[in-house]
A and B are shown apart, each in its own frame.
Chain A
C-alpha cells in the first residue's frame, strides 16, 4: 500500500503534465499551427475552442487572427514636381495563411520588417510618380464660395489621393501573398510640407495670396464708395435741375397768365392804351422822385403852363 502510494505520486504527476500538454486553447482572436520537432503538421487551427495535440512531441504556435497594425517610416519624399513632402502611411494587415507565415517569416517582427520594405518602397514610388496636388486632392469638386471672397479655383487633378492610395495597395498586395500576409488597407495618415524651406515658401505664398485678397477688398470698398458718391452727385443734379425746371415753368405760366390779364385790361381800345400810359407815367413820377431829385421846370413845360394858365 505504501509502496503503491509512493509510486502513484510521481505517476500521477507525469500523467497530469501529459494531460496539460495534450490540450490547448485557441482563443477567439487566435490561430494556431502545430509543429512536430519544429516541422509544421496539418492545417492551421483557426476555430476557437479546446483542442488536442500529442503531448511533448507537438508544440502549438499561436498567431493573431485580427487586423494588425503597420506604421510606415514617416519620411520626406520628393513628388514628381520636386516638392519635398513628409508622408506618413499606415496599413492594416492580417495573417491570412499562418502556415506560410510561419515558414516565411517566423514571427511578427519578421513580418513588420518585410512590410516596411514593401510598403515604404511602394509609397516612395507612388509619390515620385505624381505631382503634389494629386497627392493632396481626391476629387475635382469645385470649392464652396462665399459671396464675399473672390472666386477660388482648384487645379485640375488626374489621379487624386484615393487613386494613389489604391495604387500603393494594389502594388503591395501581390508582393505579400506568398508570405501568408494579406494587406487589407493602406492609408495616408499624414502629409505635410517637408523641410523648413518649403514651408517658408508656402507661408510666403499664402501671405501674398491673402494680401491680394485684402487689396481687392479695399479697392472694392473704395470703388463702391465712389460709385455711391457719384450716384449721389447725379441724383443731386437731377433733383436740383428738375426742381428748377418745374419752378421756372410755373413762374413762366404765371407770368404769361398775368401778361394776358394785363393785356386784356389795358388793350381794350386805343383810348385805354393811352390812359394806361398816362397812369403808368404818373406812378413812375411818384416812385422815382424823392428828396435827392432836382426838378427843373422849364417855362415851356406842361406843368408850368398849367400853373400860368390857372393863375
Chain B
C-alpha cells in the first residue's frame, strides 16, 4: 500500500496542491517539485553487481525470468517496480559444528557442540563437523518460495547429516565411511532442497572433523595404538624369520658341499690307494718271499729307532713284570729317601 501512495500523490495531486500554495510562497513550489523530481530520478536507476541478478516485481508481480536484470546499470519505473538482488553467481558456504571466527592464512574457529553431536547407528555418539557449499540457481524460488531460506537450509542440512550418520557405525563415521557420507548427504540434501523449492543447488558437502566424543577419544587412540602394536609384533617376528631362515639355508648348502667334498676325497683316495696296492701287488707276485722280508725289515728299520725303550727278553725268564715295576719305582724311592734325610737335618 505504501508503494502506491507516492506515485498517485506526485503525479496527480501535486500541481494543484502547489497552485494553492502559490499565493503564500511562489519559490517553495519549485523547491518542492525539484526535490520530488530528484527523489524520482534517484529511484529510477539501480545497479546489479557482477555476481548478482535483479528480480523485478512490478506492482508486486513477477513477470517471468526474461525480465530479470543482469549485471550493470538499469532503469526501472520509480515506485512501481521493486528490485530484489540475489547473488546467484557467488558460491555460498554454510558451516556446521563450528564457525570460522576469522578467515585468514591461519583461520580461527569456534566449536558449536550441539550442532556437531550426533548418534551413530550402533548407538554410539560422534562429533561431526561439516561444510556445505551451495549456490542459488533459481533466484525467484530462493526469494519467494521459502521464508528465511538460510535457516531452513541449515535445518535441512542438519537433519540429513544426522539421518545419514545414524545409518552408519561410529567406525565408518570416524574413518572409512567419510566419503560415502559426503556423497549421500549431498544427494539427499539436494532432494530436500528441490522438495522445498529453495532454488538452491548443493555443490559439495565436505566433512571436516569427524571424531568420537572427547571422553572416548583415548579409547579410540588406544585402538590405533594396538593396531600399531600388532603390526610391530608381526614385523618383528617376520624380521627374525628373515634373519634366521636364509642363514640356515646357507648353512645347509655348506653342509652339503662339505659332504660332496668328503665324497670326492674319499673316492679319490680309495682309488689312489687301490692303484698303489695293485701296482705293488703286481710286483710282489713276482717275488713274494723277498718282498715280504724286505718290507718287513724296512718297516722295522724306520720304526725301531723311534722306540723309547727296547727290551730283549728270553722266553725262559720268569717274573719279568715285577722287574719292570721296580724300574719304575726305583727313582721314586730314591726321591723319597732324599726327602727323609732333608727332614732329619
Contacts and interface: CB of A to CB of B under 8 A. Distances in A.
B176 A146 contact: yes
A299 B225 CA distance: 94
B119 A5 contact: no
Contacts, number: 368
Nearest to A137: B121
A14 B172 CA distance: 73
Given A236-B244, A293-B308, A203 B1 contact: no
A144 B5 CA distance: 65
Nearest to A296: B311
B227 interface: yes
Given A12-B13, A258-B267, A50 B273 contact: no
Interface string B279-293: 011001100100010
Contacts of A271: 285, 288
Contacts of A259: 270
Contact of A298 (B16, B171, B262, B315): B315
Given A137-B167, A191-B166, A265-B273, A203 B61 contact: no
B68 interface: no
Interface in A204-226: 205-207, 209-211, 213-218, 220-222, 224-226
Interface in A257-311: 257-259, 261-262, 264-266, 268, 271-272, 275-276, 278-279, 282, 285-286, 289-300, 303-304, 306
A207 B225 CA distance: 14
A14 to B, nearest CB: 11
A185 B195 contact: yes
B299 A295 contact: no
A155 B144 CA distance: 44
Interface stretch (B27-35, B85-93, B230-238, B337-345): B230-238
B223 A296 contact: no
Nearest to B249: A239
Interface residues of B, number: 131
B295 A279 contact: yes
Contacts of B238: 228
Interface stretch (B100-108, B130-138, B211-219): B211-219
A203 B215 contact: yes
B159 A152 contact: no
B299 A293 contact: no
B122 A152 contact: yes
Given A224-B230, A266-B277, A25 B147 contact: no
B145 A67 contact: yes
A141 B259 CA distance: 66
B214 to A, nearest CB: 9
Given A228-B234, A254-B263, A262-B274, A69 B313 contact: no
Given A190-B162, A225-B236, A262-B270, A8 B16 contact: yes
A290 to B, nearest CB: 6
A282 B296 contact: yes
Main secondary structure of the interface of A (DSSP, over half): helix
Given A192-B119, A261-B274, A221 B233 contact: yes
Interface residues of A, number: 128
Interface stretch (B40-48, B150-158, B200-208): B150-158
B295 A189 contact: no
A161 B164 CA distance: 10
B277 A242 contact: no
Nearest to A19: B8
Given A191-B162, A218-B226, A221-B229, A143 B278 contact: no
A298 B131 CA distance: 118
A214 B230 CA distance: 9
B196 A9 contact: no
Contacts of A65: 144
Contact of B151 (A64, A69, A215): A69
Given A271-B285, A286-B299, A304-B312, A250 B263 contact: yes
Contacts of B330: none
B54 to A, nearest CB: 14
6 contacts: A236-B244, A275-B280, A286-B302, A293-B308, A294-B310, A298-B313
Given A141-B167, A143-B122, A232-B244, 18 more contacts: A27-B60, A28-B140, A137-B121, A146-B176, A193-B119, A203-B215, A210-B216, A210-B220, A214-B226, A220-B230, A255-B266, A257-B266, A261-B274, A265-B281, A272-B281, A275-B281, A279-B277, A297-B310
Closest 4 CB pairs of A and B: A221-B230, A254-B263, A243-B252, A247-B259
